[in-house]
Amino acid sequence: MGKCNCRSPNTGGIVVDGKAVPGTLKIPANYYTAGEHQVALLEGAKRPLLMHTTLELVEVNGAVYTVNGYGHGTLRFTGVDGMKPTITDPSGQPIAFEQWPDETGTYLQVRAAGQPLVVAWK
């Protein structure tokens, strides 16, 4: 009987501020800091944000995330009660998005077309 290669090199994950975080789509707690953070999916450099992928950007605390990719990206946030989201392109022009809450957080869905999108809560 052969060995199970259950953890293949293509397990997916994210890249946060240039550091690979394999095996999860959730921002690590050490990135729950105020300031600007860069986020993309680890696999598929040509199309880092997959159709209907839920990227978990949680505990905002003044953080601004720049998300890069293609397709319909769904972003989940917690800790944003009473705050209003904005999504803009790099020049500051607003990008349309959908927003809905549920018991696990607040979701934003945006169509990404290969340009970085700046996601902020105020």
What are the C-alpha distances in Å from 22 to residues 26, 52, 111?
10, 19, 24
- What pLDDT score was predicted for residue 31? 79
pLDDT in tens, 16-31: 888 888 887 788 888 7
Read off the pLDDT of each residue in 103-113 and give the average, rounded to a whole number.
85
pLDDT in tens, 34-75: 778 888 776 544 444 444 556 666 666 677 777 776 777 788
The pTM assigned to this predicted structure is 0.66
